[in-house]
Structure 1
Amino acid sequence: MCGRYAATKDPATLAAEFDALDVLGGEGPDVDYNVAPTDPVVTVVQRHPRDDEGVVDSTRTERTLRVMRWGLVPAWSKDASGAARMINARSESAATKPAFKKSLAERRCIIPADGWYEWRREGKVKQPFYTSSADGHSLAMAGLWTTWRPDDDSPLLITCSVLTTAAVGLPAEIHDRMPLILPKSAWDQWLDPDVAEVSDLLAPPSEDLVAALEMRPVSTAVNSVRNNGPELLAPFDEPRELDLFDDAR
């Protein structure tokens, strides 16, 4: 699964990494070492542009950065209260789930992350681990997105989910699930709005891709969403007992 992650790169850096246009105009989220459900996050999307009249140009596409809220709210939802429970979508079943199948076919995105947190429980001990790319490049987490509004007079809410898959390699030592990380060679197909069939990209990451990851234990300070700073990424080798896992916002 993926319940927290770090996103500290500025939009200009992300635009360069993902060959995208930075159209955020400085309105992106702040540096965040502890991204939590329902937070605003930067994503990468590729769409057919529209002119000033709203007419779609089907002859070309543009890859841009877009801010979304983490926790998908399906278009048919009566309200947005369930968003925190929709931060992840299982890659094995997304194509058949009403909440995700349309987005998988038509609205896919990449959610850049410095790395993600996962917890391993042993008795009463719940130790967080941080997994990131060994070379410092952003991880391209496969994502789905959609739009929702409660009524015609309300602004659109754009939300997203991270696709997860069976954990392999080092991450499997901590949890049986992990984010679906896309290699650069898959970005074009994944983001192409004219491609509906992407089942070949939903398999767990390759051994080579996972071998390029590094994982380390970090402080249990990350357990609280109130903590947010670079110290959360520092190696920490002394697990402590926790009575509660603070996931409240």
Structure 2
Amino acid sequence: MCGRYNLFSELKTIAERFQLMNSEVSELVPRYNIAPGQDIMAVRSDKNGNHAFFPRWGLVPTWAKDPKIGYKMINARAETLHEKPTFKRLLSRKRCLIVADGFYEWKKEKNGKQPYHIHLDDRSPFGFAGLWDEWENQGEVIHTCTIITTEANELMRDIHHRMPVILTRDSEEAWLDQADLSMTDLTELLVAYDPNAMFAYPISTFVNNSRNEGKDILNSL
């Protein structure tokens, strides 16, 4: 699964990287310990181009009676998206990218769980494959999202058996396109990222508490 990540690149870098068209995004606070239930930066696309928006992490389907269901839907398995009605209906028109610089995963060891920070080799920001939805209650509309996961690649396998789907730049364009994707298309897009283009290293358990913040979280042991 993917339960914690970070985003600390400058807004200008992110805007250029994802070709953002909306100018109302004027500030982005660096965040080193993003957790479920928080508003996060995502990208969606329409006929006018790519736009940033800030959904809550943890999908709350339109039919949900209680928004707390979102805490159970922070991730969606790529292998079963087409089998789950909640996710299947979002695949055609509500695909998005979750913008990140890196993510965290915990490896089971004899003395407990060791957290790792995982990022791209070139340390550039990237996009997780995501789905979003709208939930409305008494006039209040909340945008929410989920991060899609897949089987771990060779780098991640020693840490955890699952990992978030990190899209390549070519895959991002196809994922954000409003055209319908066949199951074959989905299968080709929602795969594990090239392990040779990623890096993982152990960090302090300081990251374990989601209330802890700051770039010191990224320090290696």
Which interval holds the TM-score relative to the shorter structure? over 0.9
Aligned residue among 97, 102, 110 for 2:97:
110
Aligned residue among 128, 132, 138 for 2:125:
138
What is the distance in 2 between the residues matched to 1:2 and 1:232? 17
Q: Which has the larger radius of gyration?
A: 1
What stretches of structure 1 of length at least 5 have no aligned partner?
48-59, 237-249
Structure 1 or 2: larger helix share? 2
Determine the structure 1 residue equivalent to 2:41.
42
What is the distance in 1 between the residues matched to 2:12 and 2:157? 33
Aligned residues: 219
What stretches of structure 2 of length at least 5 have no aligned partner?
none
What is the distance in 1 between the residues matched to 2:174 and 2:14? 19
Structure 1 or 2: larger strand share? 2
Q: Is 1:94 aligned with 2:93? A: no
Per-residue CA deviation, residues 120-176 of structure 1 (Å, 9 max, x unaligned), is 11234110001001111112210100111113x22x100110000000121111000
Amino acid at match of 2:173: D
CA 1:97–1:67: 2 relative to 1, 3 Å: same
Deviation, structure 1 residue 193: 1.2
**TM-score normalised over the length of structure 2:** 0.93
Q: Indicate if the aligned counterparts of 1:15 and 1:22 stay in contact, CA closer than 8 A.
A: no
Aligned residue among 190, 199, 217 for 1:214:
199
Deviation, structure 1 residue 203: 4.1
- Pairing 1:119-138 to 2, within 5 Å after superposition: 119-138=106-125
Determine the structure 1 residue equivalent to 2:31.
32
What is the distance in 1 between the residues matched to 2:173 and 2:8? 24
What is the distance in 2 between the residues matched to 1:200 and 1:94? 10
Q: Indicate if the aligned counterparts of 1:190 and 1:201 stay in contact, CA closer than 8 A.
A: no
CA 1:99–1:27: 2 relative to 1, 3 Å: farther
Aligned-partner SS, 2:92: helix
Q: Please give the root-mean-square deviation of Cα atoms over the aligned residues, in Å.
A: 1.5
Q: Indicate if the aligned counterparts of 2:171 and 2:189 stay in contact, CA closer than 8 A.
A: no
Q: Is 1:82 aligned with 2:69? A: yes
Displacement over 6 Å in runs of 4+: none
Amino acid at match of 1:3: G
Determine the structure 2 residue equivalent to 1:52.
none
Q: Indicate if the aligned counterparts of 2:167 and 2:189 stay in contact, CA closer than 8 A.
A: no
Aligned identity (percent) is 37
